[in-house]
Amino acid sequence: MAQSPNHVVIVGGGISGLSTAFFVMEEADKQGLSVQCTVVEREARWGGKILTNHLPNLLIEGGPDSFLTSKPWAMELCRTLGLEDQLIPTNGENNRTFSLCRGALRELPQGLLAFRPQRVETLVSGGLLSWRGLLRMGAERFWPKSSSGFSEETLGSFFRRRFGSEAFDYLIEPLVAGIYAGDADELSLEATFPRFKELEQQYGSVIKGMREAQAKAKAAAAPKFSGSPSSLFVTLRNGLGELVETLTQRLIDRGVQLMTGSGCREIQPFSQNRRRFSISLENDTLLTADAVVLATPAFQTAQMVQQLQPEASNLLKQIPYTSTATISMAYPAESLKEHIQGFGFVVPRKEQRPLLAGTWTSLKWPFRSQKGETLIRCYVGGRGREQILEHDDRKLVESVRQELQAIVGVSGPPNYTEVHRWVRGMPQYVIGHQANVAKIQELMNPWSTLYITGAGFYGIGIPDCIREGNRVAENLMQRFLVQPTVSSF
């Protein structure tokens, strides 16, 4: 009698779930395993927070608009899918970013988060920092390292200690907030930027350590694009939605069953066997699986494992999430010409404004608008700034327009607006996050073919989610081969 294929059910159709399904099929082929795969998604579309809207004259990203090249996993997946020739860098001609400082936009030096800033004269002459703040920041190279190298520390505590409060407030905090939409005085350094702590301990200085590391890694710098210098961020010519569309089509071609419009209600062991599961969907469909991957937000995952492991469920519920929104607006190019420059600006928390950042999308990326029209995108919400999201869309757009008028002088009405809300869309890696995740892993170990992945655990970016999807797939295929007793999380 022929052995039936192992059935893998993946819950969650964002980039984590889709990439996991893709790598499951890839690994199954490598190992010569027969695998059936089903991906279940509650929403009517695939992609999670990746959402690209194509209009006759505009291309609008409702969620992320790019990914890092320094983390190779998204680039590698694009190459595997045949999308390498669609990758585009940021527009080198407009490569300037500003920070709102004491009511005025002042230029940030490039390479700031790498702590090897270019055009340092902009930092000296731009008025972002006082002379005292500049001297304190420069003194980081000689500042003593922490004697408590193994104690967990917030981002705010670490960067104030190393660079001073002024540099933290106007240079570092708004960039961190732009990545995590969080409060740097809550976020764990070890869970978000562990490399900085390692550099401090190894070299005694973040600046010294970064320069040493970059010198060693020069040969492995970010990829270059035709006619363009190396780019820290890239996107796809037709939007990040092209990655989702290509992935889903590849999965269909491989025989993966894709089910939208129904989430997972409950997971139960099948006939008391901890290596097989019964999955009850919200549309009353019942699936039986040899392995389950939960690629959902932590609070949704908590509901699904409640019956299996209540303590792990409670810990999953403790991972906080914050809400954000993006507001895209198209203006006649002539009406904005004298007001905007560079890629856009960030707003430090210290300025106490509702806006997180503004991006001049048409200046940052090619192919986002047609000639004669300029697309901009603004970000609101985040930890401690969510009150603005209580407004309806009309009021939200009005509030953002008021901010743009106050900050850059844009006063005319836009030709088009589009609002995307991400309720509880951004996980917060607060103090204790890593210990919490490790404890969840330990509690879930007896369920050896149930895996938990997604942005809530080991990295929020697209490359991080793809990396984890690959890791889960590799571990899962090894499980099918040798059936060890300890699970991988």
- Distance, CA of 88 to CA of 365 (rounded, Å): 8
Reduce the secondary structure of the chain to three states and give it as a string.
Answer: CCCCCEEEEEECCEHHHHHHHHHHHHHHHHHCCCEEEEEEECCCCCECCCCEEECCCEEEECCCCCEECCCCHHHHHHHHCCCHHHEEECCHHHCCEEEEECCEEEEECCCHHHCCCCCHHHHHHCCCCCHHHHHHHHHHHHCCCCCCCCCCCEHHHHHHHHHCHHHHHHHHHHHHHHHHCCCCCCEEHHHHCHHHHHHHHHHCCHHHHHHHHHHHCHHHCCCCECCECCCCEEEECCCCHHHHHHHHHHHHHCCCEEEECCCEEEEEEECCEEEEEEEEECCCCEEEECEEEECCCHHHHHHHCCCCCHHHHHHHHCCCEEEEEEEEEEEEHHHHCCCCCCCEEECCHHHCCCEEEEECHHHHCCCCECCCEEEEEEEEECCCCHHHHHCCHHHHHHHHHHHHHHHHCCCCCCCEEEEEEEEEEEECCECCHHHHHHHHHHHHCCCCCEEECCCCCCCCCHHHHHHHHHHHHHHHHHHHHHCCCCCCC
Q: How far apart are the first and last CA of the chain?
A: 34
Instruction: Walk along the chain (489 residues) and give the pLDDT tens digit of each residue.
Output: 346 789 999 999 999 999 999 999 999 999 999 999 999 999 999 999 999 999 999 999 999 999 999 899 999 999 999 999 999 999 988 888 999 998 899 988 876 655 454 455 556 656 788 999 999 998 998 998 887 656 899 999 999 999 999 999 998 899 888 899 999 999 999 999 998 999 999 999 988 888 887 777 664 554 555 444 467 899 999 999 999 999 999 999 999 999 999 999 999 987 665 678 999 999 999 999 999 999 999 999 999 999 999 999 999 999 999 999 999 999 999 988 888 989 999 999 999 999 999 999 999 999 999 989 999 999 999 999 999 999 999 999 999 999 999 999 998 899 999 999 999 999 999 999 999 999 999 999 999 899 999 999 999 999 999 999 999 999 999 988 876 433 334
- Give, in order, the Cα–Cα distances in Å from 282 to each of 41, 259, 267, 313, 469: 11, 12, 12, 19, 24
Strand pairing of 291-294 and 450-452? parallel
Query: CATH assignment of 6-48+240-319+430-482?
Result: 3.50.50.60
CATH 3.40.190.10 fits 321-427, yes or no: no
Q: Hey, what amino acid is at 128? A: L
Domains of the chain by residue range? 6-48+240-319+430-482, 110-220, 321-427
Long-range Cβ contact pairs of 55-58 (< 8 A, separation 24 or more):
55/416, 57/330, 57/369, 57/370, 57/373, 58/330, 58/368, 58/369, 58/370, 58/373, 58/375, 58/416
In terms of C-beta density within 10 A (0-12 exposed, 13-18 middle, 19 or more buried), how is residue 359 classed?
Answer: buried
Tokens of 212: 């040493």
Contact, 188 vs 433, CB < 8 A? Answer: yes
- Distance, CA of 116 to CA of 132 (rounded, Å): 20
- Distance, CA of 379 to CA of 425 (rounded, Å): 13
Torsion of CA 451, 452, 458, 459, to 10 degrees: 120
Residues paired with residue 258 on neighbouring β-strands, in sequence order: 39
- Give, in order, the Cα–Cα distances in Å from 9 to each of 35, 288, 487, 489: 11, 8, 17, 16
Q: List CB contacts of 161: < 8 A, sequence separation 6 or more.
A: 143, 146
pLDDT tens digit sequence for 355-408: 999 999 999 999 999 989 999 999 999 999 999 999 999 999 999 999 999 999
CATH topology of domain 110-220: protoporphyrinogen ix oxidase, domain 3 (1.10.3110)
- Distance, CA of 476 to CA of 473 (rounded, Å): 5
pLDDT tens digit sequence for 419-441: 999 999 999 999 999 999 999 99
Q: Which of 21, 91, 12, 15 is nearest to 51 (CA)?
A: 15
